[in-house]
Amino acid sequence: MKVTIKDIAAVAGVSHSTVSRALNDSPQISSATKEKIKDIAKTMNFEFNAGARSLSGRKTGNIAVVYQAIHDQFGSSLYVSQLFIELRHFLERMDMDVILLEGYHPETGSSNISRLLRQQKVDGFLIVHDLIKQRDYESIKQSGLPIVQLHLPPVYCQKEELDYFFTDHFMGGRLATEHLIKRGCRRILTVSTTDSESEEFRQRTLGYKQALKDFGIPFEEDLVFAADSSYQKGYNLFRIIPEILANVDGIFFQTDIQAFGFLSAARERGLSIPHDMKVIGYDDAPICELANPPLTTVHQPRRKLAELACERIVDLIAKRHNESRHQEVLFPHIVVREST
């Protein structure tokens, strides 16, 4: 038997409206009755019926988390799934449930977003890590539901109208390169990705250049190399660009997984890391500790990002201080291990 506010009202000897108001902390209820009603509710194990609540009050207690992929094909980008776990954790603590939209693809789009909107199933959207189609973005905006973006804001949107939190990838690239330089490297290769759409990798490379400039090291076009973000490409680097590697004393991999592949190949060739060459990765995947040698890497503050985003979306849903946008760009930091 499901217990409703009417059941509570009967026990408390008040009307159901009073129960509703009491449990929602309405100021027009005396603290004495509030307390009594809350006690009864607790002992009766009461929870609001979600459907009824959303029907009348327009709050579902659900937020949609939109992902292109919860993990990529090879499980390489652990960062995104790590972030998801943090997000779910914070939302759970706020009694919010997560409706996960995974497999969202910018090209094909997804009818799911507009369906959720029309069904009025969610209170807000958390867009994680990937760009969403302008059409979807605008239909959310038009519905009036809040959006928090955990990624660079898409190019088509006015920055002023979106709440977002992400990591400064320029700074990440800069710090990583600086770290290598301070460790004595002078000819530093950076391995970026072949995903030319991706602004974040462009930023990492720009940061790399800036660090070189800061230390008066001339930039060489050859030392920026684009490779798939895969273990395989890191592993094969010796075969792909042998002559370049011969004159390099440090590598900044813009993805951990590439670095893992490279470390493995280096061991086979008897190249000693960090003695002969220093290596730094990006993302601080948990396996970094287990690499051989353990991989120095750039850590994005995923827990903090998740916390900020969750607090923000909940505030926006509650319509608290939402007069202006919240936008923060957090700094990454270097986790020093044994590969540098």
209-212: long-range pairs with CB below 8 Å, 24+:
210/170, 210/173, 210/174, 210/177, 211/173, 211/174, 211/175, 211/176, 211/177, 211/178, 211/181, 212/177, 212/181, 212/188
In whole angstroms, give the CA distance from residue 236 to residue 261.
8
Residue 32 makes contact with DNA by CB under 7 A:
yes
Assigned token pair, 338: 């044994």
Rounded to a whole number of angstroms, the minimum distance from the CB of residue 17 to DNA is: 3
Give the residue with the Cβ less far from DNA, 13 or 270. 13
Give the residue with the Cβ less far from a copy of itself, 161 or 268. 268
Q: Which listed residue (92, 195, 214, 220) binds a copy of itself by CB under 8 A?
A: 92
Q: Which 115-174 residues touch a copy of itself, going by CB under 8 A?
A: 115-116, 118-121
Rounded to a whole number of angstroms, the minimum distance from the CB of residue 64 to DNA is: 19
Q: Which listed residue (10, 23, 38, 97) binds a copy of itself by CB under 8 A?
A: 97
At residue 144, what are phi and psi to the nearest 5 degrees? 85, 0
Q: Are 83 and 304 in contact (CB under 8 A)?
A: no
Q: Which listed residue (10, 11, 23, 70) binds a copy of itself by CB under 8 A?
A: 70
Interface region with DNA, contact rule CB under 7 A, candidates 48-56, 65-73, 221-229, 323-331: 48-56
Give the residue with the Cβ less far from DNA, 19 or 65. 19
Give the rounded distance of the alpha carbon of 265 from its chain centre: 31
Residue 53 makes contact with DNA by CB under 7 A:
yes
Q: What is the dihedral of CA 332, 94, 161, 126, to 10 degrees?
A: 70
What residues pair up with 227 in beta bridges, in sequence order?
Answer: 193
Interacting residues with DNA (CB under 7 A): 2, 4-6, 13-18, 20-21, 23-24, 28-30, 32-33, 48-49, 52-53, 55-57
